[in-house]
Chain A
């Protein structure tokens, strides 16, 4: 029994210590923001590897999610004779929830894990130490550009995901199931609110981009510098990001859509 409490105490203390390290890490990362203003190329390079290279997986997933929404939406709505509102259903689901959440989960799996593995291996192969000894701050040079790239890429990827999803829904709804194309778009245009839906979805995507980039980079930087350490850190990135995304999504949804 004592062992259990000892273990629990140790784990709890370890968790808080890590949270503290993570907060300091975030502070130093944000402190390095000026370095990007001076050298925007560092950011652009990372926007490419973090954002542009994630486009394909986001676009394909968005297309399939939109198509599935089109199918499922049609089956349910047609029971009530309301298949004309398919466009609204697809767009609202994508813009409010599925776009930000699924994109963020995919982003954590594709870009987040890659960031953790990259930084973890840089630590394991002494590249970060080497930089410090060359009087180059690795946080400013390596971490901050990747953090900002992740933060800025997320809303763009969410936009891509939702836009392609809406097209996928239309492809299935109008192309295969015979929903009127005009109704599909006009229902969407009339009922999707810029502030309630699009801006809220955008805010979610920014929050998810922030949290996934932070977790991924911190796990990489804090990794035990061995093969096993990097492998564990990569797994933790994906798991912790998924939990954070889903948990935060609930909180954000409650805050944003509660008064409707």
Chain B
């Protein structure tokens, strides 16, 4: 699919994005488009700034260069109140779940409703139970976050993320550290919520199999650049050695096994140094 087609139908359009932390360049002139109603995956090894990208889209971090448009609005130019209004329409699932630990599952899901709406408690109850039912945890409503398994915590966070019926959900490493059953549940939930609620979904992940299974389009990022993009099928058959190494999980390749260091022999012979 051509870039122009994707950019026309995009909910999020990132153009010429550059971002650095100190001296380390995280992104250099990155452009990508997230299509409406689709599941777009952003993949790449740990430390490539995938989470940073989500924070830039959500306006928590500002890029050094380039523009980030979400639903036609330039995120960096929005005033705080406008940015908060935009965020009400974006759900985000953090890697840790980020549930409020002093509240029960029920209160966590009710939190955005109580903060942003003036609905009566009876209606909030119905909404919370509907959202919890959607993630299969209606029976766990009275549990506290420390009583939940990692997979359950993410499902509760997912129920909370859809509480305000957002237009888009961003998932930050949803499958990391999950057992096969939880992974299966999350894969199913992400796909089914995307379809039934008509959401636009961004998944940031390095779990190749699960992500490729549900994504409509994949961007592969490394060293601050997009090194591959396409449908899962296209990515699978990519000729790029880097993309191949990532998809197949090879220990050595364009990404080296060793962190850059001086010659091993010289290093061993250097005496009198502590490190």
Contact = CB atoms under 8 A, between A and B. Distances in A.
A125 B85 contact: no
A60 to B, nearest CB: 27
* A interface residue count range (under 10 / 10 to 19 / 20 to 34 / 35 or more): 10 to 19
B96 A133 contact: no
The listed residue with most B CB atoms (<10 A of its CB), out of A121, A127, A133, is: A133
A125 B116 contact: no
Interface string B95-138: 11011110000000001100110000000000000000000000
B224 interface: no
A127 B101 contact: yes
Contact of B94 (A129, A135, A136, A137): A129
A129 B60 contact: yes
Contact of A133 (B85, B92, B116): B92
B60 A133 contact: yes
A196 interface: no
Contact of A135 (B84, B99, B160): B84
A126 B98 contact: yes
Contact of A130 (B85, B90, B94, B116): B94
Interface in B47-84: 55, 58, 60, 84
A136 B92 contact: no
Interface string B135-157: 00000000000000000000001
Contact of B87 (A125, A126, A127, A135): A135
B98 A135 contact: no
B121 to A, nearest CB: 14
A130 B5 CA distance: 33
A132 interface: yes
A135 B88 contact: yes
Contact of A136 (B98, B99, B115): B115
A208 B116 CA distance: 35
A126 B112 CA distance: 16
Contact of B115 (A125, A127, A132, A134): A134
Nearest to A130: B98
A135 B91 CA distance: 10
A125 B98 contact: yes
A125 B111 contact: no
Given A125-B101, A126-B98, A130-B92, A136 B60 contact: no
A135 B116 contact: yes
Contacts of A129: 55, 60, 94, 98
Contacts of A131: 100
Interface in A83-138: 121-122, 125-127, 129-137
Contacts of B111: 134, 136
A223 to B, nearest CB: 16
A133 B95 CA distance: 13
A122 B96 CA distance: 12
A192 to B, nearest CB: 42
Nearest to B98: A130
A125 B157 CA distance: 13
A183 to B, nearest CB: 51
B116 to A, nearest CB: 7
Given A132-B60, A136-B115, A127 B100 contact: yes
A127 B111 CA distance: 12
Nearest to B94: A126
Interface string A133-167: 11111000100000000000000000000000000
Contacts of B88: 134-135
Given A132-B60, A133-B92, A135-B87, A127 B112 contact: no
Contacts of B94: 126, 129-130, 133
B145 to A, nearest CB: 9
Interface in A215-235: none
A132 B115 CA distance: 12
A132 B96 CA distance: 15
Interface of A: 121-122, 125-127, 129-137, 141
Question: What 3 A-B pairs have minimum CB-CB distances, sorted nearest first?
Answer: A130-B98, A135-B84, A135-B87
18 contacts: A121-B101, A127-B99, A127-B100, A127-B101, A129-B98, A130-B94, A130-B100, A131-B100, A132-B87, A133-B87, A134-B87, A134-B160, A135-B88, A135-B112, A135-B116, A136-B115, A137-B84, A141-B115
